[in-house]
Structure 1
């Protein structure tokens, strides 16, 4: 049991989302939810993630009770000083994950540090056990010369 607990502590910390808005889109009670996600490893970057949340009426009428659609949109912005010194270029890292079905589907945000072009890339995508999803959204945050750990311009 101690080994499992120790292994869980070694996993990278994922960001927590803070819901900032919920917008009703139809008479059935379906909503678009917008959440703010601060990057836990970089600091100075906040992403806003929007996704569709189905209502009980929609779930009953569609017959798919336990699942929300994979659609999402993401936009990330600089909100303070950025420190990329601890990041490994080209290595995708999990920033956020949230379940979108009872068991096997999740909405994920990954970060990739493109050191050559001095950009942080954030990708929102769905992940399913049996198959991937082509539904994705991407946002970039350009790094400035004064950002800690950023390579100088070419």
Structure 2
């Protein structure tokens, strides 16, 4: 066994995990510290596709005045675009798709997710941002699509 083997094994294990997001912008909404956060998420299995997701983050004063300390709203908006040559890797081509990104929006009950679904008939990747809640689903959803054809 070489020294590189544990590193390769760790990289292989991490390849199946949802992507990490990088904060690229922050918009102050009001004087109490509420912000809109904008993050970039590179699809880990589709090279050349980057999604930008925007969501609301409550500030300390808002948390103090309204209670509900450990939870942020479920709202999110997503836009995905080709950001380089597209190479589709081993993606789930099933009707339910697969998670690309997941972030907690409360201590245990709510998460913000980005799911990728492959529309084979139209050669399009569909990215849906939605909240997943333990006790009560959310109808708040935003989608974006990336076509997989080359323009002439």
User: What residue number does 2:39 align with?
Assistant: 35
Q: Which contiguous aligned blocks of 4+ residues in structure 1 show a shift greater than 4 angstroms?
A: none
Alignment of 1:3-152 (within 5 A): 9=13, 12-84=16-88, 86-89=90-93, 90-145=95-150
Contact 2:15 2:44 in 1 (8 A): no
Number of residue equivalences: 139
Contact 1:73 1:124 in 2 (8 A): yes
Contact 1:91 1:113 in 2 (8 A): no
After alignment, is 81-90 or 30-39 more displaced?
81-90
Q: Structure 1: which 5+ residue stretches go unaligned? A: 1-5, 147-154
- Matches of 1:57 and 1:85 in 2, distance apart? 44
- Matches of 1:10 and 1:33 in 2, distance apart? 25
Distance of aligned partners of 1:88 and 1:95 in 2 relative to their CA distance in 1, 3 Å threshold: closer
* 1:23-48 per-position Cα deviation (integer Å, ceiling 9, x unaligned): 10011110000000000011110000
Contact 2:45 2:89 in 1 (8 A): no
Q: Structure 2: which 5+ residue stretches go unaligned? A: 1-9
